[in-house]
Structures are given as structure tokens and as C-alpha cells.
Amino acid sequence: MGWLSEAAKAYRLRWKRRRLLFRAVRKRRQLHPVKDRTAKISPDAILVFSTVRNEIVRLPYFLEHYRRLGVAHFLIVDNDSDDGTRDYLARQPDVSLWHTSHSYKLSRFGVDWLTWLQIRHGSGHWCLTVDADEILIYPHHDTRPLAALTGWLDQSGRRSMGALMLDMYPKGRLRDHPYRAGDDPFHALNWFDGGNYMIRKKPDLENLWIQGGVRARVFFGDQPRRAPTMGKMPLVRWHWRYAYVSSAHSLLPKSLNRVYSEDGGEMLSGILLHTKFLHVVVDKSAEEKRRREHFANSALYDSYYDGLMENPDLWCDGSTKLISWRQLEAMGLMSKGGWV
């Protein structure tokens, strides 16, 4: 009866995907255009989709990095920023911007809003879904643009690429390393945890559930299974029938989640360098603890926010200093697969 069980699972996932798409269509009414420049999007454009709130410090480097890689257009939802983020983004000629004051949490952490924009504008394009504190790198990213990467993925018959989110942090207390907008954040955030990762394959969606890194070590050491998941599928050749299930951690149809090899080989993957631990996180943590918009069970994470508000030193003797993407590949944190 194994085939019957698989057929029932496939049926449930099809209906789940339809429900997620329907949610996104309904939530479109929460989005109000600020600057809609989507008419400029060319058929071969690589697009970035992101939801932001009060990210004026990170955005100059974020935009510069992805422009340098070859992103042609940014489709961004501003969730009621009050620090100048909205005005700054509205001035950018390659940004289309929408505003909403509705709940980030009740929109599946912004995914419903972005799904609607992907339905409208992403189908047929390679799309990157990233937060403002996520900087994608991949093998040869310093010499090969995203178009070379996506071209190789197309030739290989792949519709998605996975990435490990790597929490970066300074040596010393967070506030001792002030950051200025536009600077390279990895001059200060140049350390990471290299070897404390746990990986499970989820039986339903077949994505990899990865936990570990500095957040698991420092904030969830006594309950590591509560630590945030670190595996994502940020880069996808989009179709209007696709939908993210849990942030960018998993997708439907589930075949998009098979970004790994099970026969002993390797598949091309990247790294999302995570800039969460800039000095501004100390003050932001108090606001996020009060708003309770970032976790499904927010009360369980009060101690996490409390820890960040204490301006911690996350460095330890086992920390590894970031040198290059080749170092990350040699450590097995990302792979070139067959791309040479």
C-alpha cells in the first residue's frame, strides 16, 4: 500500500500549494504601490524579492552587492518602516516598492506578500528571495555573475539552488564594532561557527533541516532543536504555481527542495552570509521582543532577545575567520558540484 500513501501525500501537498497561492492572492490587497517600475523588467532579468522594515543601515551594501552580481530589478515590500527606508528605496531607479502596515507574522513572515509579487512579476525569471541581512555568495561569485550561474543551472536542468545561512559575527562585544551604511559589513563580521551543524531530511517536503552555528551554540545550547533552521532555497527559476512553505526554507512542488545529492556526490550550492549581528541588533532586539512578529511562538524566544540586548561577545576559541569562498567550499559548507 506504499503507492497509496504516496498518492495521498501528493494530493495533500497539491492542495497545500493551492491554499498558499490563494492566501497570496487575498493578501494582495494589503500592498500599496509606492513606486512601480516593473514595466522596465526585461524577459531575461534576474530579480530580487524582499520584505524589509527599518533597514536603512543595511540597504546600501545590500543593493550594491546584488547589482554587482547582475540583479536587474528589486521588488521590495516595506513593512511600515520609520527610519527613512521607504524614501531611500523609492529613489532607487531599479527598485519597485510596495508599502504595508499589516502584520508581518500574519502574512507568513512576509511570504504571502512576496508570493503575490512573484505570481505577477516573477514567472519565467530566476528569482532571489532574500532578507536585507542575507548576502548570497557562491563558487566563483567574485569573477562570475549570476547570469553565468543561472545559465549553468538551466543547462543542467535545475530549477533551484540551495544555500546555507551562515551567521557572521565580530570578535568582541557587538556594540564595540559600529557599522556605517554602505561599508562592507564583513570587515567587522568576519567570524563564524564552522563545524557544529545538524542536518535532517524532512520526510514530507524532502528539504534539508539544518541547525547550528553561533545562535544554536550561544542562545539555544540547552535546547538545540529550537534553534533557527539554516538551510534555504533562495534562488529559483520561478513559475506562478510555485510557493514557499516556510520562509525560503522549503518550496512546493517539493521537487524544488532536492538541492542535494544522496548518492555520495555533490550539487552546486551557495552561502547566505548573515549580517544579523551588526551592532544595531542590540537595540533592535528590544523592539522585536515587544512586537513579537518574527517567530511563530514568540514567547519561547524571549531569552534569545534578552541575550542580544546584553550586547554579547559571540566569539569563542572554536570560531573560524572568514577568508574566501574557497575556504567555505573546502570546509564543505558549500559546493561547486559540477560547475568548474
Distance of CA 10 to the CA centre of its chain: 26
Q: What is the structure's pLDDT at 1?
A: 52
Determine the pLDDT at residue 184: 98
Q: What is the pLDDT of residues 49-90, one digit of tens each?
A: 999 999 999 999 999 999 999 999 999 999 999 999 999 999
Three-class secondary structure of residue 90 per DSSP: helix
Domains with residue ranges and CATH for the chain: 2-330 (3.90.550)
> In one letter, which amino acid is 173?
R
CA separation for the pair 327, 44 (Å, rounded): 32
The band of 293, judged by pLDDT with boundaries at 50, 70 and 90, is low
Instruction: Report how far residue 205's alpha carbon sits from residue 166's, in angstroms, rounded to the nearest whole number.
Output: 22
Which pLDDT value is given to residue 16? 97
The mean pLDDT of the chain is 94
Q: How far, in Å, are 171, 179, 194, 211 from residue 321 at the CA level?
A: 10, 19, 9, 20
Looking at residue 246, its pLDDT comes to 83
In three-state secondary structure terms, 58 is coil
Residue 262 confidence (pLDDT): 85
Q: Using one digit for the tens of pLDDT, what is the confidence trace for 221-247? A: 888 888 899 999 999 999 999 999 988
Residues 325-336: tens digit of each pLDDT: 999 999 999 999
Phi, psi of 270 (to 5 degrees): -125, -170
In this prediction, residue 7 carries a pLDDT of 83
Per-residue confidence at 319, pLDDT binned at 50, 70, 90? very high
Q: Residue 297: pLDDT band by 50, 70, 90 thresholds?
A: low
- Give the angle 132-198-201 at the CA atoms, nearest 5°: 90
pTM of this structure: 0.95
**Residue 177: pLDDT above 80?**
yes
> How confident is the model at residue 298, as a pLDDT?
53
What is the total residue count of the chain?
Answer: 340
Of residues 115, 238, 108, 211, the one with CA closest to residue 98: 115
Rounded average pLDDT over 174-201: 96
- 299, pLDDT greater than 70: no
Per-residue pLDDT, 296:
54
Q: Which residues of 180-201 are buried (b: 16+ CB within 10 A; e: fewer)?
A: eeeeebeebbbbbbbeebeeee
Kindly tell me the sign of the dihedral angle through the C-alpha atoms of 93, 65, 211, 237.
Answer: positive
Q: How confident is the model at residue 183 (pLDDT cuts 50, 70, 90)?
A: very high
Average pLDDT on 103-118 reads 96
- The rounded distance, in Å, linking the Cα atoms of 201 and 249 is 12
pLDDT at 263 over 90: no
